[in-house]
Amino acid sequence: MSERLQPGDTAPDFTLPDADGNEVSLAAHKGRKVIVYFYPAALTPGCTKQACDFTGNLELLADAGYDVIGVSPDKPEKLAKFREKENLKVTLVGDPDKSVLTAYGAFGEKKLYGKVVTGVIRSTVVVDEEGKVERALYNVKATGHVAKIIKDLGI
């Protein structure tokens, strides 16, 4: 199981393909704060709710200086379908080999319906302008999570 990140840690850099196959890297966001959220799968109810919540609050977050990147193990084609179907504005990137999910501590053992399984741990990491972890939240709920982040960040 991968180590969870702590505030003050350097956020692992990454470059992953977005829904259009273009490369998105954390380094390209230096100088801006970034909310990197990890979700199990595109086109599922909880993940759709979370992505729609981020999309609905994207302008508010951007005005407060935050960019948002959603990471899942999905391939770009599925992310494109997800974006089109739900009219998402949030940047979605795919991590099929789960290397970034693992580096962020967002892949490992979790409880699902009372059973221990290995999979994506719904997580959110807030990265500051210098690339340091400001907050690292693990095992978050899909519903109401975006509102909680906005409240916690004082936006």
Catalytic residues: 47
Longest dimension (CA), the chain: 42
Torsions phi, psi for 75 (to 5 deg): -80, 155
Give yes or no for a contact between 92 and 82, defined as CB atoms under 8 angstroms apart. yes
Q: How far apart are CA 64 and CA 68, in angstroms?
A: 12
Q: What is the dihedral of CA 149, 150, 154, 155, to 10 degrees?
A: 150
Nearest one of 22, 23, 36 to 106, comparing CA atoms = 36
C-alpha count within 13 angstroms, C-beta hemisphere, residue 19: 17
